[in-house]
Amino acid sequence: MPPWFLCLLAEASINVSLEVDNPLKVLVNTSVVYLRWAYTTSSDEEVTLVDFHFGGDDVPIGFINSTSQPEVSSKFRDRFKLERRGTLIIHNVTASDTGKYKIALTTNQSTQVESSVYLDVLGKL
């Protein structure tokens, strides 16, 4: 089997779908924004780690693993919250929140899949 074929097989075992528009446009000072992803896995796999990142530099926001509570890094802890499955919540949106948000899922069989959304924070109308 060619190596690229094995890669396609690995990625087929987990499906990720974004549940918001992409790009998502919101007004500055919006009280709460939900960036939500849904995912399914094959019957023999389970998601063991969900990582969230921000921007072109992939700054870590936090993670959710299968054994502990969601953890948000100190840089984002004041206004960001993570919820089980794949939800990033941003409170009191500012212009500096504009950018790419990425979710990276890892399964118990080491399959990794990523998905991203661009948040466009607009000035007041």
Mean pLDDT of the chain: 88
* pLDDT confidence tier of residue 13, bands split at 50, 70 and 90: confident
Q: In what order do the strands lie in the sheet with 99-107?
A: 24-27, 112-122, 99-107, 47-54, 59-65, 71-72
Question: For a pLDDT cut of 90, what percent of the chain falls above it?
Answer: 68
User: How far, in Å, are 9, 11, 95, 111 from residue 42 at the CA level?
Assistant: 11, 10, 39, 11
Segment 23-54, tens digit of pLDDT = 999 999 999 999 999 999 888 888 999 999 99
CA neighbor of 47 nearest in space, from 112, 117, 101, 114: 112
Domains and their CATH numbers in the chain: 3-122 (2.60.40.10)
